[in-house]
Structure 1
């Protein structure tokens, strides 16, 4: 067996970046002990020196000429070999702190680690410096509260760490001005209750409903973590809405065909539909919804992907339902979600025959679903296996030719399609 290769300065830097990527958030949030990182350099053995003395000498010179910052040390040891005598060789590289490791690693990984650590420090202790209080002190309600919230025994400490860990990527990726604005809004929210307001009603200068919507999840998490008692902001969400088309003219309330209703109103829709509702068709693509022809007894609903809010409409429980989504693993995951609420849901145009008929239009699926899909039928499960066997491909709904789709829909629904 050949000995392990000697670790070059370049390989050590790559390993430092890998370790920094894997550990810098944990070190920042949970602490660390010295040294934070030790890398064995695997110096040459006597056999390696004898086999290629020039390579061994070049490796030692490469490390000997390396300038290291304070906090980063290179340990040397004497090795005595019968054939070549005593040689002094580097044996390990040691970083005392995450900052030392970042200084050696360099590049975008080090910049990310440094930015995250600095922003966590600001959230914990430094902001807003003008009034001498940390956000935690503001949330606790007075200047007598210490600015340091790092006491592991304080439940706020773990709540804050959990929020920072969960939203680390978002917090690190924000431009500086956006991060400053977020902290300013967080401090404002600590002193001004907003429960019951809609985003448009928030009286925060420079913060519109769009900005709040983008950053709401992080703000809510930090606000709840820093409060003396975990609490939600209480800002009112927009009501979920359902978009649908009444394909049967005899069923249209007041002659209205294309409807988009708040969920609170949609729950009563069956009471105003004329005629007999024979089937509901849920389609993934909005253009598909708009292209569907008239059909007796059919109500069509736009599924909106994983937004399966329509599944809770009480009047759907007793109606036959057909779902047509993208022919990919995510489409079957959505079907599974609907079927978990509504066991009677059937699929259409989500089978191997359709997949094969449009093989030239397959594209790779960016993020295949890997979870369990226990509600699928055997035929649907085989289709999922086929998608994976073909290399995680997908056939998007809009790529299926319209005449083909319309013929299959009419046959499956066993309804008279009038146009």
Structure 2
């Protein structure tokens, strides 16, 4: 029908709200045979089985699904640009710690900037020059279709922190050894250890508000 009509969308189905998928990471919940995978639709008012204490937004679907257990944790499948949808969830906005972990590339950092632009107080994880240099040997110059990765002109990213902005400048320049290091190239145990550090740091900051740290 699309070939005959020349239309991209035949509008045969009623519109549905945007949604995202996520995985429960809390051991108590999972050991009690609680549901492991779930989804959220915009304006969904159904409460989660526990209030998330840490929300990890992972750009890679498989990484979110396979992330190790973490007390009070939820891992969201970011899958690209869905900042408005994810930011609409009250349980995301009210979580004590929200962390974004994306590819070390131009798009990943622009997505991080977009999440903050939507009002989320969000901490990045393993998205800095040190991590890039450590894993750049596993980087790629090709996209998922085997074609060369094309960089677009740098965008205004006012919500990136200094260390994130430095990586963005490198990745949008001609001096970057590779334009992309995919997050799945970083071992999950490394990510788990880093997230645990961020959880402890967030707890310390809440207990000592006068000694807070820049997020």
TM-score normalised to structure 1 length? 0.41
1:411 aligns with 2:197: yes
Q: Distance in 2 between matches of 1:250 and 1:400?
A: 27
Match of 2:159 in 1: 375
> Per chain length, whose mean CA-contact separation is higher, i.e. which structure has more relative contact order (CA < 8 Å, sep 6+)?
2
Q: Distance in 2 between matches of 1:272 and 1:311?
A: 16
Matched-pair contact (CA < 8 Å) for 2:141–2:180: yes
| Equivalent of 2:37 in 254, 258, 271 | 258
| Equivalent of 1:318 in 90, 94, 111 | 94
- Where is the helix percentage greater, Structure 1 or Structure 2? 1
Deviations 1:167-221 (A, max 9, x none): xxxxxxxxxx965x116xxxxxxxxxxxxxxxxxxxxxxxxxxxx7xx11xx6xx
Q: CA deviation at 1:327?
A: 0.6
Match of 1:287 in 2: 62
Match of 2:138 in 1: 361
Q: Distance in 2 between matches of 1:354 and 1:258?
A: 30
| Equivalent of 2:24 in 246, 252, 269 | 246
Matched-pair contact (CA < 8 Å) for 1:327–1:396: yes
Q: How many residues of Structure 1 are paired with residues of Structure 2 in the alignment?
A: 189
Q: Distance in 2 between matches of 1:254 and 1:264?
A: 27
The 3 A distance-change label for structure 1 pair 350 and 241 is same
- In structure 2, the residue corresponding to 1:333 is in which secondary structure? helix
Deviates more, 1:237-246 or 1:318-327: 237-246
Deviations 1:80-132 (A, max 9, x none): xxxxxxxxxxxxxxxxxxxxxxxxxxxxxxxxxxxxxxxxxxxxxxxxxxxxx
Q: CA deviation at 1:379?
A: 1.0
Structure 1 residue ranges, 4+ long, deviating more than 4 angstroms after superposition: 251-254
Q: Distance in 2 between matches of 1:239 and 1:254?
A: 29
Match of 2:113 in 1: 336
The 3 A distance-change label for structure 1 pair 317 and 371 is same
Matches for 1:7-406 after TM superposition, within 5 Å:
181-182=4-5, 215-216=8-9, 235-251=13-29, 255-265=34-44, 268-269=45-46, 271-274=47-50, 276-308=51-83, 309-319=85-95, 320-364=97-141, 366-369=149-152, 370-389=154-173, 390-391=175-176, 393-406=179-192
- In structure 1, the residue corresponding to 2:104 is in which secondary structure? coil
Q: Distance in 2 between matches of 1:315 and 1:402?
A: 25
Match of 1:137 in 2: none
Unaligned segments of structure 2, at least 5 residues: 143-148, 202-215
Matched-pair contact (CA < 8 Å) for 1:330–1:368: no
Unaligned segments of structure 1, at least 5 residues: 1-176, 184-211, 220-232
Q: Distance in 2 between matches of 1:255 and 1:332?
A: 34
TM-score normalised to structure 2 length? 0.76
Q: Distance in 1 between matches of 2:29 and 2:118?
A: 25
Structure showing greater radius of gyration is 1
